[in-house]
Amino acid sequence: MEDRLQKLLSAAGVCSRRAAEGYIEAGRVTVNGEAARLGAKADPDRDDVRLDGRPLPKRAEAAYLLLNKPRGYVTTLSDEQGRRTVADLTAGCGIRVYPVGRLDLDSEGLLLLTNDGALAQRLTHPSGEAEKTYHVWVRGPAAGAAERLSRLRELEGEPILPAWVETLRQGEGRAVLAVTIRQGKNRQVRRMCAACGLEVERLRRVREHTLELGDLPPGKWRYLTAGEIEALRGGER
């Protein structure tokens, strides 16, 4: 059955669809010995599809991992600066999986990784407005912090959707907040806190989409259950 080349490369676990488009445009992908063009289709059972002269691996079995990312790891599979990556933590699964979304170097918590390119693309599409909940340790004017964050409607002139904010603990000049957002703007929670005069000391994602971090230890991962996978696919048609 024919499919677009970028989908075939993603399904084979060699790269994301976006990266595949760049490989095709750079002339690194061939079909039956001829340089491929963006938008072309091929049948992996009939056509000889290659990346950099090497045949695509057979379609890998779909894998879905939930990782508790510690601070100090970048959300990529490799890093030019030699920093530790989430791929170092998930190498034991034996299948090449890709992060769905990202967590900053100095952030921690729930991170989904998979080789299911179609699901990853749907989950990260801007129209999805998937909820994400973070526990945020802040320093500064803690009194009324939850209310101030909830009232924010723009960041540096850019409109944002309202957040749901709950105070979990509060002391003198410090608080732990639960912040739920429906967007994934760059460093959004940290920027929201800065706009309210709060310094983020620690940020941990505890929920995303239908997934919850639970008591998974930092640096450890587990496979999603069948029920969790089904729930993530709930919006597919």
Tell me, yes or no, if 88 is annotated catalytic: no
Residue with tokens 């599979």: 77
Active-site hit among 104, 106, 116, 215: 104
Active site residues: 104
